[in-house]
Amino acid sequence: MEIAWWHWIVGGLLIALLELAVPAFFLIWFGLGALLVGLLMLVIPMNLTAQFLLWAAASIMMVFLWFRLVKSPDRTKSGLAKDAFLGETGLIVKEVTELQKGEIRFQKPILGSETWPVIADSKIPAGERATIIDVIGQLLKVQKK
């Protein structure tokens, strides 16, 4: 069976449209890879093996670039880098220990909230000041100031 350039274009569009049903934002790269193969086949004739290799390579490269360059894990849900909050100091309002989460309050809201759950490597009693040293999901890791 011979796969024509328009097969890749139609397949790429179908895969890209399938992304609307699957909320993972992952299939789009395979659809774009298929579109790329279809467009290149208009200019350069390729055998079936070359077509699939090009599709796989283009799709994998786009997924890699998405996760490596665009979707940074160092970004918070609001799009700010977590480094923007490192070093902020607040007041511990609920004691934190190595085994128990505590709570910290800031003078100005951080990401829309004045209080945050915290963890620490050592005990910090309520009333002490602490500094953010890391952001782990929805938790702030702090150390005594």
CATH number for the domain that contains residue 123:
2.40.50.140
Quick check: 80 pLDDT over 80? no
Start-to-end C-alpha separation, the chain: 70
In the Cβ-directed half-sphere of 128, how many Cα atoms lie within 13 Å? 17
Residue 75 lies in a domain: no
7-44 tens-digit pLDDT: 999 999 999 999 888 877 788 999 999 999 999 999 99
Rounded to an integer, what distance in angstroms lies between the CA atom of residue 58 and that of residue 64?
10
Quick check: 79 pLDDT over 60? no
63 and 88, same structural domain?
no
Residue 76 lies in a domain: no
120-137 tens-digit pLDDT: 999 999 999 999 999 888
136 and 116, same structural domain?
yes
Rounded to an integer, what distance in angstroms lies between the CA atom of residue 10 and that of residue 55?
14
What is the residue range of 107's domain?
82-144
Q: Across residues 87-109, what is the average pLDDT?
A: 92
